Structure 1
Amino acid sequence: MLDAAHTDTATDAGAGTSPVAGMRIALFSGNYNYVRDGANQALNRLVGYLLRQGARVRIYSPVVENPAFEATGTLVPVPSVPIPGRAEYRFPLALAGEAKADLEAFDPDIVHVASPDVVGHRAVTWARKRGKPVLASVHTRFETYPRYYGMAFMEPVVEAGLRRFYQRCNALVAPSESMVRVLRDQGMNDDVSLWTRGVDRTIFHPDKRDMAWRRSLGIADNAMVVGFLGRLVMEKGLDIFAATMKALRDRGVAHQVLVIGEGPARGWFEDSLPRGEADGAAVFVGHQSGADLGRAVASMDMLFNPSVTETFGNVTLEVMACGLPVVAAAATGSESLVADGKSGRLVPPADVEAFADALAAYLTDPALARAHGAAGEARAAEFGWDRINSAVARAYARLVKRG
């Protein structure tokens, strides 16, 4: 058991009025803090909110010796092994031993599963046998992953497996209205509601733009910078990003590229983009966090997000909060954030020429980019974390009351 940033009790003076005050919540996550991503950042913020509301929370997840960040709440390790070919991630093996004994002793009022893995399945089975309600949060479109590894034929199989998992839960929450519709259309569950995401405006704000930092990277003040933000893995659409940058170079549209993030496909991505003094040259700044991340994001001129795997698109919201336009795939997540033609452009997935058209419009018309960026910042102002996390608290209370 790892006691981290908070204990499993709360100190908020007003917690007694919360619908989750005194509630015991068991959260199961395949990756709570050992590799940083948007999903586990949201889960940690949720746990912090629940603790402040007077709930007791225990998190069951694989752990590593040197996690990416300190966990919020009480973290209970589950047995796991590295995933072959993606050793930075862990595969949860079983709900057994000390973890199961801890769960039994904790005796939660509700179980929250955040990943459809082996331990997630076992947690659902454990809860159903004891008459405990189960809420599942959907963070990633796992059914889309096979297409990035030459196995698109497996998508219906993966979708069927996900359907079996989610139909065993009492309710689902998803981070965007578009993802809620997808889950309902796929028949994943009849009870699907919205748990969107927030943005920290102390980090992500237009004022964080730093021209001196840009110059230190060799980026001229008058250069228009296309940014990529996220894990450097193929399922983020790196191949589409690289092909679109080539299309811009072929058209003679001047630009530079700023890549923020780290991951196993970095070598491939570096080889696929020009470096040095070439037109369209890319600068890789690696993983950034906190104030450094806010500075890096605000110092680009637009975001290009070709991914279709996100259920929300945290990076899209963060860039919008910095007053920058977004060119994104018309897919779950971005469709609920970007107003096409007002705060950015939504383009059919994998349409390289259409992506190039959208980016070229901003690259050749900075005034248009500024106008659409301002509209995006106004939209981002609507996303406050406590209000957003209260939706999950209400879902817990509803399910526990229903029994």
Structure 2
Amino acid sequence: MSGMRVRYVHQGYFPARAGAELMTRSLAVAMSRRGLRVGLYGGEGDPEDERLMKAAGIGVEPLPVRDGEERAADLVHAVDAFQPENIRTGLRLARAWGVPFAVTPASAPDVWPHRAAVLEGCRRADAVFVLTDAERDMLRAEGVADSVLHRIGQGAHLPGTADPEGFRAAHGISGPVVLFLGRKMRSKGYRVLLEATRHVWARHPEAHFVFLGPRWDEDWAQWFAAHADPRITELDRVDEDTKLSALAACDLLCLPSTVDVFPLVFVEAWMCGKPVIGSAFMGSAEVIADGRDGLIVPPAARPVADAVSRLLADPAERARMGREGHDRARRELTWDAVAAQVHRVYTELVPARS
């Protein structure tokens, strides 16, 4: 359907940032480039993202309070079950306008604040986009029809300019860098990595740990105070140049998350040729090819430290895993590939309702 009008629903976390938000905006831009007329219902966003959306011709509006009389879209697509209001609002608008409704949960059930509302939205959706087969199996077991489930991939969000040497100089880093990139919330594993630092230093005293991402937990500062060391750098939200510079400067990414679906930061690390270390979560074996582009380890200090130390001690293995991840990301994990999959589903849904 030429000129299909799509409205995405994701209210965001500003001033914090999350992978689901980047996913929504990256998909919106990719679909706009494919000729769709795209808009986003959401809250205030990062200024860099707002410029990117504006350049792609995408309008960003507040979540509608009322349905209104005029149909504003041919399809409504809500993202992120961590914010169930996205799904409720998207479904309400779609039904009021008589158009198909699509949803991407984009987060693990363990963090859904209103599981029943999310599952009801998925059961009533015309399309549900999942990131792994494990997520598909979980939703199928919860009563979501197999016919509406569609597996898609992830893509990297790296619009910045890398300056790895500048990043190292700015933070006084001379040794190898272990990067944690994500929200500082317990389930993401930043506490485990903090506890692992002393075990790594016993074998690699020159290692430097960088924790970059929104300060989420109420007690995040106490955790860093308890593990204070000049070899630890803690950064809050940063701009895209700094984020990409950190990825380019690091030797490996470590995110021992236990509650996830498909962390976007893994794809971003692979696009930069870096190996990743993660822990088991729903579908983790589909996300990380253990021993090929990264390692999957138990979410405890010593196993994480052993994995970090193993890769720090073996530059050849780090390089091999980084190449494997890079090749896979370039081959399979791009927003062009995701947009093609999603667009195909959209075109199947919209004519059926037109």
Residue 12 of structure 2: which of 20, 31, 35 is its match?
Answer: 31
Computed over aligned residues only, the root mean square deviation of the Cα atoms, in angstroms, reads: 2.8
Task: Kindly state the Cα deviation for residue 370 of structure 1 after the two structures are TM-superposed.
Answer: 2.0
Task: Kindly state the Cα deviation for residue 388 of structure 1 after the two structures are TM-superposed.
Answer: 1.8
Give the equivalent residue in structure 2 for 1:217. 171
Residue 175 of structure 1: which of 102, 123, 131 is its match?
Answer: 131
Residue 195 of structure 1: which of 146, 152, 155 is its match?
Answer: 152
Give the equivalent residue in structure 2 for 1:75. 60
CA distance in 2, matches of 1:200, 1:260: 16
Task: Kindly state the Cα deviation for residue 174 of structure 1 after the two structures are TM-superposed.
Answer: 2.0
Letter in 2 for 1:113: A
Q: Relative to 1, partners in 2 of residues 1:35 and 1:353: Cα closer, same or farther, differing over 3 Å?
A: closer
Task: Kindly state the Cα deviation for residue 257 of structure 1 after the two structures are TM-superposed.
Answer: 0.4
Percent pairwise identity: 25
CA distance in 2, matches of 1:32, 1:395: 28
What TM-score, normalized to structure 2?
0.84
Give the equivalent residue in structure 2 for 1:288. 238
Question: Is the 8 Å Cα contact of residues 32 and 61 (structure 1) preserved in structure 2?
Answer: no
Give the equivalent residue in structure 2 for 1:317. 267
What TM-score, normalized to structure 1?
0.75
Question: Is the 8 Å Cα contact of residues 78 and 103 (structure 2) preserved in structure 1?
Answer: yes
SS of the residue 1:105 aligns to: coil
Report Cα offsets for 1:177-218 as digits up to 9, x if no partner.
4433433344444221123222267758xxx46345314422
Give the equivalent residue in structure 1 for 2:229. 275
Residue 35 of structure 2: which of 41, 45, 54 is its match?
Answer: 54
Residue 363 of structure 1: which of 277, 300, 312 is its match?
Answer: 312
Residue 191 of structure 2: which of 234, 239, 242 is its match?
Answer: 239
| Matches for 1:3-402 after TM superposition, within 5 Å | 20-31=1-12, 35-63=16-44, 69-70=49-50, 72=53, 73-78=58-63, 95-97=64-66, 100-101=67-68, 104-116=69-81, 117-118=84-85, 120-128=87-95, 131-141=98-108, 143-145=109-111, 158-190=114-146, 191-199=148-156, 208=162, 210-211=164-165, 213-220=167-174, 223-249=175-201, 251-254=202-205, 255-265=207-217, 266-276=220-230, 281-332=231-282, 334-348=284-298, 350-382=299-331, 383-402=333-352
Q: Relative to 1, partners in 2 of residues 1:160 and 1:347: Cα closer, same or farther, differing over 3 Å?
A: farther
The gaps in structure 2 that reach 5 residues or longer are: none
Q: Relative to 1, partners in 2 of residues 1:364 and 1:51: Cα closer, same or farther, differing over 3 Å?
A: closer
Task: Kindly state the Cα deviation for residue 232 of structure 1 after the two structures are TM-superposed.
Answer: 2.2
SS of the residue 1:397 aligns to: helix
Question: Is the 8 Å Cα contact of residues 330 and 346 (structure 1) preserved in structure 2?
Answer: yes
Task: Kindly state the Cα deviation for residue 140 of structure 1 after the two structures are TM-superposed.
Answer: 1.4
| Count of residue pairs the alignment pairs up | 341
Task: Kindly state the Cα deviation for residue 167 of structure 1 after the two structures are TM-superposed.
Answer: 0.8
CA distance in 2, matches of 1:62, 1:321: 29
The gaps in structure 1 that reach 5 residues or longer are: 1-19, 79-94, 146-154
Question: Is the 8 Å Cα contact of residues 5 and 74 (structure 2) preserved in structure 1?
Answer: yes
CA distance in 1, matches of 2:290, 2:197: 21
Question: Is the 8 Å Cα contact of residues 9 and 41 (structure 2) preserved in structure 1?
Answer: yes
